[in-house]
Structure formats: C-alpha cells, structure tokens
C-alpha cells in the first residue's frame, strides 16, 4: 500500500483509513488559530473520503464529535450540551487555579452519545484529535468518563543528523539507515514539501513538538543555515508549523570566526556576544517561533569554548544570552570526552568524561540552557547503565537523549524494538526507590525540564525508516515523551492498529500476535547475540554494523573490553578501577561497586572478572556468553520463520522488504554468535558445557 497523497510513500501510522471513524461522522470544530485549522482540515479530509460532515461554528446540527477550545479563547457561542457538561464537571471537580486544562493538554470524554475533546490551547486540540484517532471506533461506541491528558515532558524533540551536502564519509544523513534526507539533497533543499508536511503529521500524531533540521556535526555548508541559507530553514518551519512543531538549528560554536570573520569565537569577547545577538535577532525576524540552537562543542573535533580556555557554562551561556530575548533555548550536548586517548593509559575512562566535565558546572547555566545528556555514559550501546550526569545536576535543566536511529542496535536491518530499553532508562531511580525517576528529572519539577530528545531514524525511504517495523520506534519515542510510564507493548498495539487498519490486513489479531512475538523482546534478543553483559563496542569500527571483537580495542576511542586469557570487562570501581562508580548517588554507587550486587547485565561494564565468575543467574560468565549467543541467534532466525506465517496478511511489498531484512538479521546474528563464541573460546579455552559447535 502506498500513500494516496504521496505516491511511492508508505503512509506509516496514518493511512487515510485510520481516520475513517471520524470521517464517517459529524464533527464540530470550535475555536480559532492555525492548529485548530489543522484539526479542522484533518477532519474535513477524512469526511470528504468517508462521507461525514465537519462544521465550524454552527450548533444547528447534532454531532458525534465536538472538538473545541475552551478557556484560552472565549468561544463565540456556548458549547453543545454534552460538551458543556464535560467542561462543567471538570471545573467542579478541580477548583481554581487547577481548573485549566493546561497548555498542550486536553479533556476527552463521551457523554450522552457525543464524544468531546476540549483544550485550552490549539496544540491540545490537535493532540486530542489524534487521541480520538487512536481510539478509533471505540471513541464512539460507549460512554467514557472524562480523562485529562497532558504531556509529562513539555519538550519532545527529534534531532536530525542530516547533512545538506553529502559528506564524504557519513553521506547525506550521519548514521541514517533510511535513505537520504527528507530535507536536503546534495547541497540543496530536497524540494518535497508534501513529504515534510506528512512527516509533521506523523509526528503530531505522537506529539513530537520540536525538531532540529541538521547534523550536530556542523560542516561548512550546514553552518550557513544560520545566516545566508536561513531561508531554507524558514521554509521547513512553515511546513511544520501547522503541526505544532518548532524548528531548531545545530550551529557551530566557531560561527563568529567562520561566518562573521571575527578573529575569535571566545564566549567572553564583547564582539562575539554582539555577533550572536545580531545573528539571532535576524533568525527571529525570519522565523518568529524559532526554537533555538543545538550545540555539540569540544566533542569529536567540533569547535568549542576550550579553545579559549573557557568552560562549557561560558559557551552555553553565550548562546543562551542571545536567544533569551526571544524565548529560545540552547540544547548544549554533554557528549564531551577525549577521543584521542591512549589505549595503554588505564586511568582515563570515557564513561567518566561527561560527569567530570559538567557536574562541577551545575548552577552556572542560564535558565534557557538545556543540557542534553545521552542516556548512557558511553554512546548508545545496546546495554549501558544510566548516565550519572542525570542525577548530578539538580540546578540545571536536563534533556535525556535517546537514539531512535539504530546506529548500535542493528541499523534498521535488524528488528530492535527499543521502548523496553527506553523504559528502563526512564524508570531508573538514581537515588534509590524513594527518589525521582529519570522521567521525572527530564520532565522537570513543574514541567519545565529539558524533556526527551531522540535522534531521528527517518529518511526518504518509501517506508520512512528503512525497516518498516522501525517506524514503531519513532512512534513510541513520541508516546513515551508524552507519557513515559506507558507499557511498550501497549504502544506497539497502538502502532499496529494505526498502521495495519482493517483494509491493510485481513486478520488483525493474527498479525498482532506475530508482531508481538517478533518485536516485544527484540531488544533483548539483539543484546543476547551482540556484546555480552554490558561490555559494549564489539562492533566493526567506523560503520558500527556487525561484530569485530577487537576492532576498537587498540584505538584512541576509549571503548575497550580488556579481554585476556583469564577474564574480561572494565574495572570501573573506586576500590581498584577508574572510580566511575563513585559518580552515582550512594544507592547505586554501592550496588555497582559491589561484585556481589552488580546486576548481571551490567557486570562487565563495571567489573573485570574471570571467565569462571558465577553470575546471579547461576551460570558462569563464559557459559552465559555461549548460551546467550546461541539463544539470540536462534531467536533472530525464529523471527524470520514467524514472519513467513503472515505472508498474505499484509501488503506484499512490505512483506517482502521485512522478509529480506529478517534474513539479513539472521545471517548477521549467526556471524555475531560465531565470532563472539569463538573469540572467547580461544581466549579462555573453556568448552561449552552443552557441547554445541563453536568454530575453532
Ligand atoms: O555515536 C556517535 C556517532 C557519531 C555522532 C556522535 C554524536 C553525530 O558515531 O556519528 O555524531 O555519536 O552523538 O555526536
């Protein structure tokens, strides 16, 4: 099935039929504003297709669905009876000042045969519309009590690592596995506004409200987006504005020198401050609702404040000061480490770097700085502990960065449904069971936290994400940023229902069961057949696909496993190692420090242990490696067999694409199994107690 509006493109989770329940009914839309217009247009488009009616501002008809703005905009006329009942009830149960629904939030109910969505803000109405879309027919079949929905995170953002020029090594999209960029092609805008608009629609349906449009590694052409080529950015902003999405830009810290011809980019230099102030003012003249800047500084070769003997607070505050008059923010990334370390030097630990750099700066960042912290201390591995930075900076707004693009989790050739991993991150309580969770910290005390940022997995591929099933990760990213406590399996059901509507599959329930079998546990399957017990980085250098156990072992990148004939793992304890465990609050510092208490899945991240070390599971480390690798590769192969069973239940070209990818996943998982098992057999000389074949 391809999209009727975008020939050659799959409609992802919003095929027209997903709006049939609305499109076949009578809808009243009350209120004004750009986004209310979008709500109206969505309903009108669906009605044109399915025979319903949509009205604005007339009460003469009976309605099935009322979508209305309430307090923020006094309505020109009273709400229809059932909708007014919903509002009155809500107001009577929540006294002022809490009787507002709140920005981006909405009330949803069904009373006296009328489904009602009320919001104070047009964005809330848009999200309420998609709530009804998710409910489908169920939204109209039975009475429903009033529910108030509001986002846990105010900031729900996707970063695109898209290049304007094709980069000689990284291509059009750095770590992109879904074809080219939807924004740029070979140095110019891609010129496909329909595609960008549809992307905005998909994102609005999972409530993402911000994107950055270029790579955090800002090369020469991309730097110009801030100045000479700002019009290209404004054009994207215009396309996405109707979906409530603000545009952000990755900028180079060296811009005053490279673009402004100043002799310095020193953050404390007056001319530099003036330069940023002027440039930023021009940005807001062009894009009044511009979101702000994203900066990767002093990291992997990107310029930053260290050149001038300044620190990251000085750097971030410089840009924050320029953005402040316009309400913009700077997302300053905490991904700062020494990528030129000497592998012989056992005292330098990349895991420590972000905390070492940033924790001492807590309290020094301006209010509109958001420190953007990768969820783990190293780099988006399939298994890492939660970054200790997240608990170390109570006086700083923090955003947690997740990688939706599957750089280290199978590059959209492998099925790897990531929400179970993300939930572990979001649920983690750095101070122990009585303290706040990571989701609370990212959400912020009064909703003003830095929120969640994901690196987008979208490209110009007909299925948007290369692997059609990888769409579910993108959808789930938005849903978890809105409601981090949601069950990943429930999110998958939402995605399945929206994507495989009745006309797209004959047997929804059978397809659903198969997709759950393939996807629910796929992240753990991936973990099983790749690097064991949290040790990470046994990937092919540069490309990061497929196994290469020693590929990074003697490089300057700080990603080592230290396997020898006796054992494996990184000693990060305070007692005998790098001291990284000491960066956590006591509740976890003590757990990770202790060989007895450290969770199995992170054992080799924190400890160097002999192959015969007995895990909590009762297995030895070496036997665990063998068992998980045999099991993981078998599960990958099994996924392919399960998918065969649903041939004929979905669009043949989609089925064929997934079939090919599952075959590649099974092949690659077998390669991982054999390389890892053989490597550790050769190192340790320990046979598999179950006598399975391990290539010598
Ligand atoms: O994981 C690494 C990637 C780089 C990326 C970097 C980052 C954009 O391999 O390609 O650069 O992280 O997050 O900045």
pLDDT tens, 497-508? 999 998 888 899
Decide: 276 in ligand 1 pocket, CB within 6 A.
no
Backbone angles phi, psi at 35, to 5 degrees: -75, -30
Give the pLDDT confidence score for residue 99 in this predicted structure.
Answer: 64
More confident residue, 504 or 367: 367
pLDDT tens, 129-170? 999 999 999 999 999 999 999 999 999 999 999 999 999 999
Contact 330, 292 (CB under 8 A): yes
Contact 576, 567 (CB under 8 A): no
pLDDT band at residue 496, thresholds of 50, 70 and 90? very high
Contact 443, 451 (CB under 8 A): yes
Q: Show the CA angle centred on residue 142, arms to residues 136 and 148, nearest 5°.
A: 70
Q: Are strands 114-119 and 609-610 parallel, antiparallel or unpaired?
A: unpaired
Decide: 216 in ligand 1 pocket, CB within 6 A.
yes
Place of tokens 């649903």: 646
Contacts of 214 (CB under 8 A, 6+ apart): 160, 162, 163, 164, 183, 184, 222, 225, 249, 250
Q: Which of 406, 408, 397, 404 is nearest to 372 (CA)?
A: 397
Which residue intervals of 434-532 are DSSP H helices? Answer: 438-443, 471-482, 488-499, 508-519, 522-529
The helix, strand and coil proportions of the chain, stated in percent and rounded to the nearest 5, come to 40, 15, 45
Q: How far is CA 668 from CA 150, 189, 352, 520, 691, in A?
A: 42, 36, 32, 20, 23
SS3 state of residue 27: strand
Q: What is the largest CA-CA distance in the chain?
A: 83
Backbone angles phi, psi at 329, to 5 degrees: -125, 160
Residue ID of nearest Cα to ligand 1 atom 2:
379
Which atom of ligand 1 sits closest to the CA of residue 408? 1
Paired strand residues for 330: 293, 369
Residues tagged active-site? 300, 379, 407
Long-range CB contact pairs, 279-286, < 8 A, 24+? 279/226, 279/227, 279/255, 279/322, 280/322, 280/323, 280/326, 280/328, 281/325, 281/326, 282/227, 282/230, 283/226, 283/230, 283/249, 284/326, 284/328, 286/230, 286/231, 286/233, 286/234
d(CA 469, CA 290) in angstroms, rounded, equals: 32
pLDDT band at residue 341, thresholds of 50, 70 and 90? very high
By most ligand atoms within 8 Å of CB, the mutation choice from 335, 373, 378 for ligand 1 is 335
Which atom of ligand 1 sits closest to the CA of residue 175? 10
Give the pLDDT confidence score for residue 283 in this predicted structure.
Answer: 98
Counting residues of the chain whose pLDDT is more than 90, the rounded percentage is: 92
pTM over 0.95: yes
Look at residue 628 and tell me whether its pLDDT is greater than 50: yes
Least reliable range by pLDDT among 69-83, 415-429, 660-674: 69-83
CA of residue 397 to ligand 1 center, whole Å? 22
Q: Which of 108, 110, 89, 109 is nearest to 99 (CA)?
A: 89
Give the pLDDT confidence score for residue 4 in this predicted structure.
Answer: 46
Average pLDDT over residues 577-587: 98
Q: Which of 613, 616, 608, 536 is nearest to 572 (CA)?
A: 608
Which atom of ligand 1 sits closest to the CA of residue 374? 13
Look at residue 98 and tell me whether its pLDDT is greater than 80: no
SS3 state of residue 499: helix
Residue 262 CA from chain centroid, whole number: 37
Contacts of 166 (CB under 8 A, 6+ apart): 172, 186, 187
Q: Show the CA angle centred on residue 91, arms to residues 87 and 96, nearest 5°.
A: 145
CA of residue 396 to ligand 1 center, whole Å? 23
638 CB-contact burial (10 Å; exposed 0-12 / middle 13-18 / buried 19+) = middle
Counting residues of the chain whose pLDDT is more than 70, the rounded percentage is: 97
Q: How far is CA 110 from CA 54, 92, 308, in A?
A: 18, 18, 61
Place of tokens 């397809």: 511
Decide: 337 in ligand 1 pocket, CB within 6 A.
no
Decide: 321 in ligand 1 pocket, CB within 6 A.
no
Decide: 643 in ligand 1 pocket, CB within 6 A.
no
pLDDT tens, 305-326? 999 999 999 999 999 999 999 9
Q: Which of 350, 367, 366, 375 is nearest to 441 (CA)?
A: 375
CA of residue 433 to ligand 1 center, whole Å? 32
CA of residue 175 to ligand 1 center, whole Å? 8
pLDDT tens, 417-470? 999 999 999 999 999 999 999 999 999 987 789 999 999 999 999 999 999 999
Look at residue 227 and tell me whether its pLDDT is greater than 60: yes
Look at residue 96 and tell me whether its pLDDT is greater than 70: no
Look at residue 72 and tell me whether its pLDDT is greater than 60: no
pLDDT tens, 372-386? 999 999 999 999 999
619, two tokens:
């297995």
CA of residue 230 to ligand 1 center, whole Å? 25
By most ligand atoms within 8 Å of CB, the mutation choice from 171, 336, 379 for ligand 1 is 379
d(CA 567, CA 660) in angstroms, rounded, equals: 38
Decide: 159 in ligand 1 pocket, CB within 6 A.
no
CA of residue 652 to ligand 1 center, whole Å? 35
Give the pLDDT confidence score for residue 1 in this predicted structure.
Answer: 46
Residue ID of nearest Cα to ligand 1 atom 14:
216
Mean pLDDT of the chain: 95
Average pLDDT over residues 49-78: 83
d(CA 302, CA 295) in angstroms, rounded, equals: 9
Residues recorded for the chain: 696
Q: Show the CA angle centred on residue 375, arms to residues 379 and 496, nearest 5°.
A: 100
Which atom of ligand 1 sits closest to the CA of residue 215? 8
Contacts of 30 (CB under 8 A, 6+ apart): 56, 57, 66, 67, 68, 69, 75, 77, 79
d(CA 423, CA 405) in angstroms, rounded, equals: 17
Decide: 552 in ligand 1 pocket, CB within 6 A.
no
Look at residue 578 and tell me whether its pLDDT is greater than 50: yes
pLDDT band at residue 365, thresholds of 50, 70 and 90? very high
Decide: 175 in ligand 1 pocket, CB within 6 A.
yes
pLDDT band at residue 100, thresholds of 50, 70 and 90? confident
d(CA 466, CA 413) in angstroms, rounded, equals: 8
Place of tokens 């063998």: 626
Decide: 408 in ligand 1 pocket, CB within 6 A.
no
DSSP secondary-structure letter at 346? S
Contact 9, 198 (CB under 8 A): yes
Contact 153, 442 (CB under 8 A): yes
Residue ID of nearest Cα to ligand 1 atom 1:
379
599, two tokens:
């969770």
SS3 state of residue 410: coil
d(CA 454, CA 81) in angstroms, rounded, equals: 42
Q: Which of 694, 527, 673 is nearest to 600 (CA)?
A: 527
Write b or e for each residue in 488-511: b if 16 or more Cβ atoms lie within 10 A of its Cβ, otherwise e.
Answer: beebbebbbbbbbbeebbeeeeeb
Give the pLDDT confidence score for residue 9 in this predicted structure.
Answer: 78
Average pLDDT over residues 636-662: 96
Average pLDDT over residues 251-258: 98
Q: How far is CA 238 from CA 68, 241, 370, 510, 541, in A?
A: 24, 5, 25, 42, 39
Decide: 380 in ligand 1 pocket, CB within 6 A.
yes
Angle between helices 193-205 and 230-240 (to 10 degrees): 50
Look at residue 414 and tell me whether its pLDDT is greater than 90: yes
Q: Within a 10 A sphere around the Cβ of 643, how many other Cβ atoms?
A: 22
Decide: 217 in ligand 1 pocket, CB within 6 A.
yes
């Amino acid at each position: 099935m391809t999209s009727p509006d975008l020939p050659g493109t799959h409609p992802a989770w919003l095929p027209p039929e997903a709006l049939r329940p609305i499109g076949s009914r009578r809808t009243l839309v009350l209120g004004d504003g750009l986004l209310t217009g979008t709500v109206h247009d969505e309903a009108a488009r669906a009605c044109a297709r399915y025979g319903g009616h949509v009205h604005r501002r007339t009460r003469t008809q009976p309605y099935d669905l009322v979508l209305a703005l309430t307090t923020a905009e006094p309505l020109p006329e009273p709400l229809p009876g059932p909708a007014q009942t919903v509002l009155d009830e809500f107001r009577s149960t929540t006294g002022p000042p809490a009787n507002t629904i709140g920005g981006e939030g909405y009330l949803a109910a069904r009373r006296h045969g009328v489904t009602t969505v009320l919001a104070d803000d047009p964005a809330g109405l848009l999200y309420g519309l998609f709530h009804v879309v998710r409910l489908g027919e169920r939204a109209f079949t039975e009475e429903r009590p009033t529910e108030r929905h509001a986002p846990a995170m105010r900031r729900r953002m996707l970063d695109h690592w898209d290049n304007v020029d094709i980069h000689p090594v990284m291509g059009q999209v750095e770590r992109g596995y879904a074809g080219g960029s939807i924004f740029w092609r070979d140095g110019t805008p891609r010129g496909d506004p329909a595609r960008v608009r549809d992307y905005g629609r998909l994102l609005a349906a999972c409530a993402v409200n911000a994107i950055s449009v270029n790579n955090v590694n800002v090369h020469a052409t991309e730097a110009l987006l801030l100045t000479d080529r700002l019009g290209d950015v404004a054009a994207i902003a215009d396309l996405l504005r109707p979906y409530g999405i603000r545009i952000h830009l990755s900028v180079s810290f060296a811009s005053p020198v490279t673009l402004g011809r100043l002799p310095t980019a020193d953050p404390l230099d007056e001319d530099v401050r003036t330069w940023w102030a002027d440039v930023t003012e021009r940005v807001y003249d062009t894009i009044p609702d511009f979101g702000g800047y994203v900066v990767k500084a002093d990291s992997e070769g990107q310029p930053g404040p260290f050149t001038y003997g300044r620190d990251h607070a000085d750097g971030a505050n410089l840009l924050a000061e320029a953005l402040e008059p316009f309400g913009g923010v700077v997302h300053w990334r905490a991904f700062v480490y020494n990528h030129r370390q000497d592998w012989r030097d056992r005292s330098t630990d990349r895991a420590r770097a972000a905390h070492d750099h940033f924790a001492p700066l807590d309290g020094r960042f301006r209010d509109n700085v958001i420190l953007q912290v990768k969820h783990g201390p190293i780099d988006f591995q399939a298994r890492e502990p939660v970054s200790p930075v997240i608990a170390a900076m109570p006086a700083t707004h923090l955003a947690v960065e997740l990688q939706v693009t599957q750089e280290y989790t199978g590059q959209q050739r492998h099925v790897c449904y990531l929400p179970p991993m993300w939930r572990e991150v979001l649920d983690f309580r750095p101070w122990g069971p009585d303290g706040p969770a990571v989701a609370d910290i990212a959400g912020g005390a009064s909703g003003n936290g830095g929120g969640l940022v994901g690196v987008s997995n979208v490209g110009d591929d007909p299925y948007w994400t290369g692997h059609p099933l990888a769409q579910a990760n993108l959808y789930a990213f938005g849903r978890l940023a809105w409601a981090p406590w949601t069950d990943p399996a429930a999110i998958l059901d939402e995605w399945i229902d929206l994507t495989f509507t009745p006309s797209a599959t004959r047997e929804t329930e059978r397809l659903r069961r198969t997709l759950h079998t393939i996807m629910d546990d796929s992240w753990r399957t991936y973990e099983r057949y790749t690097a064991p017990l949290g040790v990470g980085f046994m990937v092919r250098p540069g490309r990061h696909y497929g196994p290469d156990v020693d590929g990074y072992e003697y490089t300057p990148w700080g990603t080592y496993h230290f396997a020898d004939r006796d054992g494996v793992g990184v000693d990060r304890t305070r007692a005998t190692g790098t001291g990284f465990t000491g960066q956590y609050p006591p509740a976890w510092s003590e757990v990770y420090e202790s060989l007895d208490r450290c969770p199995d899945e992170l054992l080799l991240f924190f400890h160097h242990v002999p192959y015969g070390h007995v895990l909590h599971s009762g297995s030895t480390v070496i036997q665990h490696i063998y068992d998980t690798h045999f099991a993981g590769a078998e599960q990958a192969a099994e996924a392919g067999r399960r998918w065969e069973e649903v041939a004929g239940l979905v669009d043949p070209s989609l089925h064929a694409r997934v079939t090919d990818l599952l075959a590649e996943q099974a092949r690659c998982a077998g390669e991982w199994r054999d390389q890892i098992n053989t490597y550790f057999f050769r190192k340790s000389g320990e046979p598999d107690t179950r006598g399975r074949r391990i290539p010598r």
